Amino acid sequence: MADKGDKHDSAVRTILSLGEERMGEVVNQLLANEVFVQAMQRAITGSIGAKRNLDKGVSTLLSFVNVPTLEDVDRVKEKLDELEETMGEIASRVERLSARVEKR
């Protein structure tokens, strides 16, 4: 019984390897075809442009309904980080001044 299974598995592996081989040949032929490559480049460029336009539209829509975009949130986070750093510097200066006053 195990012998039949082994033959079946071997046949399946052989068929799959032939399919992979053939698929590789087809892909190589497509990539060698300049018209196909140019069409793919146009499709990719078009999809990038469409995404850019969609992002811009979503950003405009969000601003109309007064909802912050990720860009807005990132800018606020940067400002908060700067403020936190400044507050830390001020706290350090106040501690140094307090220490001087206590010494006197």
Residue 5, pLDDT score = 65
In a domain, 84, yes or no: yes
**HSE (CB half, 13 Å, CA atoms) of 23?**
6
In a domain, 95, yes or no: yes
Q: Place 4 in a pLDDT band, splitting at 50, 70 and 90.
A: low
Nearest to 72 by CA among 98, 80, 22: 80
Number of domains the chain contains: 1
Q: Place 24 in a pLDDT band, splitting at 50, 70 and 90.
A: confident
* Sequence-separated (6 or more) residues with CB below 8 Å from residue 37: 31
**How far is Cα 57 from Cα 34, in angstroms, rounded to an integer?**
34
Identify the domain containing residue 84 by its residue range.
Answer: 68-104
Token pair for residue 31?
């990539």
In a domain, 81, yes or no: yes
pTM for this one?
0.45
CB atoms within 10 A of CB 59: 14
In a domain, 53, yes or no: no
